[in-house]
Structure 1
Amino acid sequence: MDYFLLKQDVRYTNVPMLKKVFEKIDPWKLYNLQPEDIVKPLMFNVRADAESIFIDYLEGPIPLISNALKSLIQTYVPELPMKLTILTQIEQKIQKNYYIPFVERLVAVHPESEWNLDQSVLKKLVLQADAIRGHKIFRIQESAIPMIIVRLDVAESILRRDYTGTTLEQVRAK
Structure 2
Amino acid sequence: MSYFIISQDERFVHAVEPDGISRAVPRELLTLERIGEMDDWVLQFPIKEQQRLQGGLFVDFIQHPVTLWSDRLKSLLVRCSKKLKFQPVVLTDLKRLRQEPYWLMAAPEVHCLSNESEFHKDGSLKRPVIDERMAGLQPMMKVGGIREDLFIVSLGVAESILRRDFIGVRLTRIEGIYEENGGIA
Q: Which residue of the partner structure matches residue 59 of structure 1?
A: 63
Q: Which residue of the partner structure matches residue 10 of structure 2?
A: 10
Match of 1:116 among 116, 120, 123: 120
* 1:56 alignment partner AA: D
How many residues in Structure 1 have an aligned counterpart in Structure 2?
170
Report the alpha carbon displacement of residue 61 of structure 1 after superposing the two structures with TM. 2.1
TM-score, length of structure 2 as denominator length: 0.86
CA distance in 1, matches of 2:60, 2:102: 9
CA distance in 2, matches of 1:138, 1:158: 15
Contact 2:111 2:144 in 1 (8 A): yes
Q: Which residue of the partner structure matches residue 86 of structure 1?
A: 90
Measured against aligned partners, the alpha-carbon deviations of 1:33-68 in whole angstroms (never above 9, x if no partner) come to: 231231324111111326311000001222111111
1:148 maps onto 2:157 in alignment: no
* 1:72 alignment partner AA: L
- Greater shift, 74-83 or 45-54, is seen at 45-54
Structure 2: gaps (5+ residues): 178-185
- Structure 1 segment 22-61 matched on structure 2, within 5 A: 22-25=22-25, 29-31=26-28, 33=30, 34-39=34-39, 40-47=41-48, 48-49=51-52, 51-61=55-65
Measured against aligned partners, the alpha-carbon deviations of 1:74-131 in whole angstroms (never above 9, x if no partner) come to: 1111342101000012122121000111111111111111100021x11111011111
* 2:27 alignment partner AA: L
Against the structure 1 CA distance between its residues 91 and 156, is the aligned structure 2 distance closer, same or farther, given a 3 Å change threshold? same
**Identical amino acids, percent of aligned pairs:** 26
Measured against aligned partners, the alpha-carbon deviations of 1:6-27 in whole angstroms (never above 9, x if no partner) come to: 01001001011121124422xx
* 2:75 alignment partner AA: S
Match of 2:163 among 160, 166, 170: 160
Q: Which residue of the partner structure matches residue 170 of structure 1?
A: 173
- Structure 1 segment 97-116 matched on structure 2, within 5 A: 97-116=101-120
Structure of larger gyration radius: 2
Contact 1:60 1:146 in 2 (8 A): no
Runs of 4+, deviation exceeding 6 Å? none
CA distance in 2, matches of 1:22, 1:57: 16
Report the alpha carbon displacement of residue 166 of structure 1 after superposing the two structures with TM. 0.3
Q: Which residue of the partner structure matches residue 130 of structure 1?
A: 133
Q: Which residue of the partner structure matches residue 71 of structure 1?
A: 75
CA distance in 2, matches of 1:37, 1:83: 10
Structure 1: gaps (5+ residues): none
